[in-house]
Amino acid sequence: YASLFFIACVDSNENALLTLEVIHHFVEILDRYFGNVCELDLIFNFHKAYYLLDEIICGGELQETSKKAVLRVMNAQDALMEESNTKGGVKLT
């Protein structure tokens, strides 16, 4: 995990292996999105990491298992943000 540590708080009756699998799934998606994710990616793009996590987990339950579907939604969100930040070919800050 590129020297990254992830923590999940779950109930005592939750399946630990399932929790580890969800963390692994999240890290794989981060790797695909950021291209070998590192600490700086998460520091400077924490909002994107939270958005990805929100696409995967909702209400404490795993909602989306398809990495392609999550990345497709994230790329659409990035395109929408880019479109809203650009007006007449000039990037707004």
- pTM for this structure? 0.84
Task: Kindly indicate the confidence band of residue 83, based on its pLDDT and cuts at 50, 70 and 90.
Answer: confident
Angle in degrees, CA 64, 21, 37, rounded to 5: 80
Q: How far is residue 17 from each of residues 11, 24, 50, 79, 91, measured CA to CA in Å? A: 13, 10, 22, 35, 45
> What is the Cα–Cα distance from 60 to 49, expressed in whole angstroms?
16
* Closest by CA position to 30, among listed 40, 19, 41, 21: 41
Going by the DSSP 8-state scheme, the letter that residue 9 receives in this structure is -
Which residue ranges form the domains of the chain, and what is each CATH number?
16-87 (3.30.450.60)
- Asked whether the CA dihedral 89, 70, 10, 42 is positive or negative, the reply is negative
pLDDT digits (tens, 9 = 90+) for 20-70: 999 999 999 999 999 999 999 999 999 999 999 999 999 888 999 999 999
